[in-house]
Structure 1
Amino acid sequence: HEQGSKDIIRRVFKYERVEKALRPYLGGSDNQRYRQNLEFIVELISPPEKMLVDGVWVLKGRSIDKSFLFDIVFNVHESFDVDKFDYVLRDSMLAGFGIRFSKESLLRVINNIRVLKCPRLGIRRICFATKTAGELLSLADSRHVLHARVIQHKTVALIEAMIARAFIAAAPHVVFDTKSGKKIVLSHIHEDLDVFCRVDDSILQMIARSDQPGLERASSILQSISERRLARRVAYVECSPTQKMSGKKY
């Protein structure tokens, strides 16, 4: 989804009203600086794991002396970043599910970070104090518990699977018009950002309530979800990262 986010934000930057709003903060009349800052924002979303290739700094948004900035949004090396801080605390609050990691934990981590040169990578990195190891471990533990008990709960997984089946069943029959005049089906809207950005969760209600021929199967699945007539899990198989599934069918 990171690449999709990059594509969408580049598209947003092209809107005249967006450029008018951003220019005073991202470079003003200096076009080169403005473009560099836009590229910096895009690169922050998902920087490459190797930022130095054969001794050459590959990122364009900021020079190598600002390399630590690329640890903030998406820390590709240790995964301790504001993206994780944000969604763990937010999802916990919205789900009403208590976790060990808290706002106080986050403030303690932030107040004790330092920017130091990493001897392994050869660039400046955001480094965490040893005394905040407990808070960082609680973040990892909280993320694990949140995924196990909420995000990947068996009922959530079942509903997600049923929604996926509904989309697959509906895909050939839900058609959108592109700006170029072409037709594009639901399963290919990611290929056209204009269409993709027009589609939101309301597509589920549209499919569920539609009497269009071909959507009966998809509509039935979504109706089952709304009435809590969910599929049942009949087996659970847990594999280690290196273990391969046998040829058995379950």
Structure 2
Amino acid sequence: MILASSEFALPRSSSEKRFLYDIVANGRNGIDVDKFDYIARDCRACGLGCNFEFQRLMETMRVLDDEICYRAKDYLTIHKLFATRADLYRTVYTHPKVKAIELMVVDALVLANDYLQISSSIQDPAEYWKLDDSIIKTIETSPCPELKEARELILRIRRRNLYQACLYWLLFCNFCNEYAVPRDIMDNFKKVTPHDIVCSQKNGGVMLKEEDVAVSNVKIDLTRGKDNPLESIHFFKDYESDEKFTIPDERISHLLPASCQDMIVRVYSKKPELVEKISEAFENYQLKTYGIKAQ
């Protein structure tokens, strides 16, 4: 297992080169070859453009005081690294359809657990390593009546009959055309649950149950939560200088985003006929909790 380095971790010895631990999993500022690899690979695989040039950073970085530092003129290149990663999370890794399938797979595994005893493997490494995607095929092809509900969920995924997103709610520290929440509310945000939605429905008509609702709370940031990762990166002016320093955003551009984190709440209906009812309940929840609803 590769453990991330950290600026708070003590070196194992006074002579150890700590910067070596930053190469693969950088806990100091998040710049590492792991991100270089999956960002370039996933952008290519998904047909997305990638403006980030990791080769430029690798050719110009240098070590100062046991820390990997970067040229000051590469500030925007590094910003593109984090922005591209955040864009991948928004448009690929946490895409509404991707999260819908994820929720359905989880539900199928939970339904199949009593019969297949999936959770019993968690504490046994010799069995746990055997859990892979083949378990989906096992559920899908099994004739056992105990797996009927799980099998039907997998079949729905195959037929693209997915859980339907009722409404999107974007929590931002700044203005967003979907929903804007003040920073103090963002700081104290409590994850939305199916129970919250069901308790916010109006009386009359079909009564919702928690098992009718699925909720996905997605956080997207630049690797350091609300903090700007570029504030923890050290730069140097040129190769003749051994001085390292940080660069505030405002010294580069006033067009850079002031917020470094989004929280997206998506509410899904497991049954197509309940989409409108669940959407109404989610709007009621927003009005009751924050006094405003998404537009």
Relative to the length of structure 2, the TM-score reads 0.57
Q: Which has the higher contact order (CA 8 A, sep 6+)?
A: 2
Counterpart Cα distance in 1 of 2:23 and 2:139: 40
- Who is 1:65 aligned against? 16
Considering fraction of residues, name the structure with more helix. 1
Counterpart Cα distance in 1 of 2:29 and 2:61: 14
Moved runs in structure 1, 4+ residues, more than 6 A? none
Distance apart, 1:213 and its partner CA: 3.3
Distance apart, 1:50 and its partner CA: 2.2
**TM-aligned CA distance change 1:217 to 1:95, over 3 Å:** same
Matched, 1:147 2:92: no
Distance apart, 1:171 and its partner CA: 1.3
**TM-aligned CA distance change 1:220 to 1:116, over 3 Å:** same
Counterpart Cα distance in 2 of 1:161 and 1:70: 35
1:173-199 deviations in whole A, cap 9, x for unaligned?
11xxxxxxxxxx212423222212222
Counterpart Cα distance in 2 of 1:113 and 1:84: 16
Counterpart Cα distance in 2 of 1:224 and 1:167: 14
Distance apart, 1:229 and its partner CA: 0.7
Contact persistence 2:50–2:84 (CA under 8 A): yes
Contact persistence 1:45–1:73 (CA under 8 A): no
- Who is 1:15 aligned against? none
Distance apart, 1:75 and its partner CA: 0.5
Distance apart, 1:237 and its partner CA: 2.2
- Who is 1:200 aligned against? 132
Report percent identity of matched pairs: 30
SS at match of 1:109: helix
Would you say how many aligned residue pairs link Structure 1 and Structure 2?
182
Structure 2: state its 5+ residue gaps: 173-185, 198-281, 283-295
Amino acid aligned to 1:87? Y
Matched, 1:80 2:57: no
Counterpart Cα distance in 2 of 1:49 and 1:160: 34
Matches within 5 A, 1:6-155: 6=1, 44-52=2-10, 57=11, 59=12, 64-101=15-52, 105-117=53-65, 124-155=66-97
